[in-house]
Amino acid sequence: MTFFAPFTIPFIVGTIFLFVAVATKWILWIARLPKVDRRLIAHNFFSLGTLAAIWEVVRESLLHAKIFRRNPLLGFMHMSLAFGWFLLIVVGWIETIVYLGFEMIPLQGHVFFKYFMPLNGIEAHIPLFEQLMDALLLLVLTGVALAWFKRIASKAMGMRRATKHVLFDRIALSALWFIFPARLVAESLTAALYGGNGFLTGTLGGFIGELLPTEVLTTLYEPAWWFYSSALGLFFVAMPFSRYMHIFTEIPLIFLRRWRLRPTLERKSYDNFEVEACSRCGICIDPCQLQEDLGIHDTQSVYFLRDRRYNMLSLKVANNCLMCGRCEAVCPVGINLTTLRINSRAKRRNIPHEGRYRYLTSLDRSSGEGKVGYFAGCMSSLTPAVQHSMERIFEAVGEAVWYADKDGGVCCGRPLMLSGETDAARKMVAYNTDLFRRHEITTLVTSCPICLRSFRENYHLDGIEVLHHSQYLDRLIAEGRLSVKQGEESYSYHDPCELGRGSEVYDEPRRVIEAVGELREPRHSRRDALCCGSSLANTVIGDEQQLRIARRMTRELEETAADAIVTACPLCHKAIARSTHHTVVDIAEVVARNIAE
C-alpha cells in the first residue's frame, strides 16, 4: 500500500513546514547560546538533572500538574488536550505496528489509519484499539469543549480575565478547535460506510448510516477527510508563529533549566526558550495589581512576552511593571518573568560617561569595626527609625558592628538594574563588594529587601553571609542572645515583595513578631501577598496610581484590626504610611521597643 491520497497533501505540507521551522529555531537558538551556557549543557548532560527533566516534562508538559493545583477544571482542560493528543499519537502508532508490523509506514499512514485501513480491510481485527482510540478522542474533545466554554465563562475555570490573542493565535486556535471535531466526523463517516464498533465513532457512524442514504455518505466521505487534513495542516503552519510554539519550546526549556541555564541581566539566546515557552494561558493576568487596581490591561507578562517575541515591545510596556513577582509565582511554565523584563529594559539603557563615577575612588564613609556589617540601604535613610532601632539592638546584644553606610553610602545598584542600567549598576556592585571585602566582614545585615536581593543575586559575596535584619533578629532571639518581652500588642504583617517572593523570607519575620506580640495575617499573605505599589521597578505609573494600589493592600492590613501594621522594607513602610491613618512600624522598631531589660 502506498498510503497516499490527495487529501493528505495539506497535512504533509504542514508537517514538513512545522518540522523545518521548529528545527531551524532550535538549531539557531542553541548555536547562539553563549559559551558559558554551552559549557553548562556539556557539563550537566549526563546527570540526574536530565532524569528529573524527563519526569518534569511528563508532569508539566503533558499532565499540567501545576495548573491542576490552581484550578482542577482548568488543569483538566490543559491535560486532556496535551496528554490526550499525545496518547492518540502513541496508541495510534502502536495500532499500526500491531496490524502491519514494523514496516516503513509514512506519517500520514499513521495519522489517517482509519482511512487507509477501514475495518473491512483488516483480518485479525482487535476491537480494543478502536475502543481505546475512541476514548482518547473523547478525552481530547472534552478538552476542546472546555476550551470553548472557557471563552464564554473563564470565571468558572478560575480565571477572571482571559488573554486577548493576536491574529496568528486566532488562526491556530480556530484550526485547533476544528481538528478533533473534524476527525470525529471523518471517522464516523468511515464507520458508517465500512463498519466499525468503537463506542463513539462506531455508534455515531451507525446513526449517520441510518439517517443518510449511501450516495450522500460517499459524497461527504472525501471532503470530510480533506477537512480534517486541512485543519491539521493549517494548525501546523501557524504553530511556529503562534502561542502553540510553546509545545516545542517548553520541553527543551525544562531540560536547559535542569542543566542550570538561567536568564541574566543581559539578553542572550537562552531567553528565546523562555519567551517562546509562554503558552499565553493568561494565568498571570489576574494576579496583576496594575490590572486589578488601575485597569491597565496591556502590560501583563503574557503581553510583555508576546510583544517581545514579535519584536514589537514598546518601552511603555517593558517599564510598566511593578516586578512584584505575583505573576512569576503563578506561571505554570516557571518563566523568569522578572529577569526577562529587566533585560528587555537593558536594551534601551544609557551608558553614562566614565567620569561620572570618579567619586567612587577612595570613597569610604563607613564607621565602626566588627565582623558583622550593617548596610541600612538608601531607602532606610528615609526611615531613620529603622537604623536607630538596629543600633539599639546591636548595642543590647553587644555585637561589634561595622556600619557601611551610616554616614551615607553607595547604592546597592538594584534600582539601576531594574531600570536596565546594568553597566552603571555594576559600578556600584564592584564598589560595594570591594568595600565589604576590605573591611573583612563575615556577615552582612541589611534593612532593605531591595539591597538584600541585589546582594544575593547580583553580587559574588562568597564567605559573607547576607541576611535581612528580620533574619538576623530571628537568629538573635532563637540563640537567646536577645531577650524580648512578650507584649499585648497585635501586629498585622505585610510581606514586602523583594523579601517574600523575591528572597523567600516568610517565616523569620513572623517568628520575630510572635516573640513580641500577636501576629495577624491580611487576606493575601506570603507568596500571595499584595504589592505596596511604590515599587522602584515601575517608571510609568504616577503617585496617584501608586496610592490606589497601596490603598487596597492597606485596607486588608487594617481589616485585621491589629494595633499596628508591621513591615520589613523601608519602601513599603513609606507606601503604607501614606495610605493609612493606622500606626506603621518596621519590624526592627517593634523588637527594639520590646527589648527585655
Least Å distance, CB 565 to other proteins, is 14
Beta-carbon-side half-sphere exposure of residue 398 (alpha carbons within 13 Å): 3
Residue 352 engages other proteins in binding (rule: CB under 8 A): no
Sign (positive or negative) of CA dihedral 56, 59, 61, 65: negative
Q: Report which of 245, 591, 553 is spatially closest to residue 388, judged by C-alpha positions.
A: 591
Contact 61, 78 (CB under 8 A): no
Between 407 and 457, name the residue whose CB sits nearer to other proteins: 407
DSSP H/E element including 130: helix 127-152
Residues 6+ apart with CB under 8 A from 593: 389, 516
Stretch that binds other proteins, among 259-267, 322-330, 341-349, 382-390 (CB under 8 A): 382-390
Residues 6+ apart with CB under 8 A from 530: 289, 326, 522, 524, 549, 552, 553, 556
Between 406 and 468, name the residue whose CB sits nearer to other proteins: 406
Residue 543 engages other proteins in binding (rule: CB under 8 A): yes
Residue 356 engages other proteins in binding (rule: CB under 8 A): no
Between 82 and 550, name the residue whose CB sits nearer to other proteins: 550
- Which of residues 381, 539, 560, 594 is near other proteins by CB under 8 A? 381
Stretch that binds other proteins, among 32-40, 87-95, 381-389, 445-453 (CB under 8 A): 381-389
- Which of residues 108, 383, 492, 538 is near other proteins by CB under 8 A? 383
Residues 6+ apart with CB under 8 A from 393: 473, 476, 482, 588, 591, 592, 595
Residue 578 engages other proteins in binding (rule: CB under 8 A): yes
Least Å distance, CB 543 to other proteins, is 4
d(CA 597, CA 590): 15
Between 234 and 557, name the residue whose CB sits nearer to other proteins: 557
Between 388 and 438, name the residue whose CB sits nearer to other proteins: 388
- Which of residues 114, 150, 258, 574 is near other proteins by CB under 8 A? 574
Residue 388 engages other proteins in binding (rule: CB under 8 A): yes
Beta-bridge mates of residue 422? none
**Burial category of 280 from C-beta neighbours within 10 Å (exposed 0-12, middle 13-18, buried 19 and up):** buried
Between 151 and 388, name the residue whose CB sits nearer to other proteins: 388
The SS3 call for residue 226 is helix
Q: How many CB atoms lie within 10 A of CB 64?
A: 24
Least Å distance, CB 590 to other proteins, is 15
CB under 8 A, 24+ apart: contacts of 62-67: 62/86, 64/332, 66/332, 67/281, 67/283, 67/332
Between 72 and 384, name the residue whose CB sits nearer to other proteins: 384
Between 166 and 378, name the residue whose CB sits nearer to other proteins: 378
- Which of residues 136, 245, 411, 577 is near other proteins by CB under 8 A? 577
Residue 581 engages other proteins in binding (rule: CB under 8 A): yes
Residue 384 engages other proteins in binding (rule: CB under 8 A): yes
Least Å distance, CB 504 to other proteins, is 28
Kindly state the cell numbers that stand for 258: 535542569
Stretch that binds other proteins, among 70-78, 279-287, 379-387, 468-476 (CB under 8 A): 379-387
Least Å distance, CB 296 to other proteins, is 20
Kindly state the cell numbers that stand for 409: 553610602
Between 353 and 581, name the residue whose CB sits nearer to other proteins: 581
Beta-bridge mates of residue 374? 403, 445
d(CA 235, CA 229): 10
Backbone angles phi, psi at 406, to 5 degrees: -60, -35
Give the footprint of other proteins on residues 399-428 (CB under 8 A).
407-408
Give me the amino acid identity at 271.
D
- Which of residues 41, 54, 147, 385 is near other proteins by CB under 8 A? 385
Least Å distance, CB 533 to other proteins, is 13
Stretch that binds other proteins, among 5-13, 187-195, 380-388, 442-450 (CB under 8 A): 380-388
Size of residue set near other proteins by CB under 8 A: 15
Beta-bridge mates of residue 518? 490
Give the footprint of other proteins on this chain (CB under 8 A). 381-385, 388, 407-408, 543, 547, 574, 577-579, 581
